[in-house]
């Protein structure tokens, strides 16, 4: 009697842990997408910075804002691109840390689930013998 209740509790616990694990995995997948996006943006901005550095002082720089090409100062363009690169690098680091944390949580959840499954199996094996 009590053992079947313990069985049900264990199964419910396993289910809830499985749901948690699925949620963590979805978060990890979303973080990976984000990481990809940031890496691409970082690469593009670094290319732009390189090109801007190759320019001479008086060369004309234009920025596309909507449908308008606006003349920009070379120094200002440099500063803007550098700031964007800083921001994207910081975001990338944040996403990496989040992925690291989530992966740690994922592993510990998996271990907990495995232990639960083992207990479940041993109880069921015990009941089958009885």
Partner 1 sequence: MASSSSSSSARGELEKMGIDQLKALKEQADLEVNLLQDSLNNIRTANARLESAAGALNDLSLRPQGKKMLVPLTASLYVPGTLDEADKVLVDIGTGYFIEKTMEDGKDYCQRKINLLKSNYEQLFEVLAKKKSVADEAGMVLQSKVRQLQAATTS
Task: Please pick, from the candidates 24, 31, 38, 81, the single residue that binds partner 1 as defined by CB under 8 A.
Answer: 81
Q: Which two tokens stand for residue 31?
A: 């973080």
Q: Is 110 in the site for partner 1 (CB under 8 A)?
A: no
Q: Is 47 in the site for partner 1 (CB under 8 A)?
A: yes
Q: Is 28 in the site for partner 1 (CB under 8 A)?
A: no
CB of 97 to partner 1, least distance (A): 26
Distance in angstroms (rounded) separating the CA atoms of residues 28 and 124: 34
Q: Is 51 in the site for partner 1 (CB under 8 A)?
A: yes
Select the span of 10-18, 38-46, 96-104, 112-120 touching partner 1 (CB under 8 A). Answer: 38-46
Helix (H) or strand (E) holding 58: none
Give yes or no for a contact between 81 and 49, defined as CB atoms under 8 angstroms apart: yes
Distance in angstroms (rounded) separating the CA atoms of residues 39 and 42: 5
Give yes or no for a contact between 116 and 17, defined as CB atoms under 8 angstroms apart: yes
Q: Is 60 in the site for partner 1 (CB under 8 A)?
A: yes
Which residues contact partner 1 by CB under 8 A? Answer: 41, 44-45, 47-48, 51-52, 55, 59-65, 69, 72, 77, 81, 84
């Amino acid at each position: 009697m009590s053992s079947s209740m313990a069985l049900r509790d264990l199964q419910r616990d396993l289910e809830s842990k499985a749901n948690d694990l699925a949620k963590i995995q979805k978060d990890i997948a979303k973080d990976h997408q984000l990481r990809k996006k940031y890496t691409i943006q970082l690469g593009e901005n670094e290319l732009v910075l390189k090109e801007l550095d190759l320019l001479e002082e008086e060369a004309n720089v234009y920025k596309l804002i909507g449908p308008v090409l606006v003349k920009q100062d070379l120094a200002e363009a440099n500063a803007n691109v550098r700031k964007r690169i800083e921001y994207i690098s910081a975001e990338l680091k944040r996403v990496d840390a989040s992925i690291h944390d989530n992966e740690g949580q994922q592993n510990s959840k998996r271990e907990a689930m495995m232990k639960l499954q083992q207990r479940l199996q041993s109880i069921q094996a015990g009941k089958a013998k009885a």
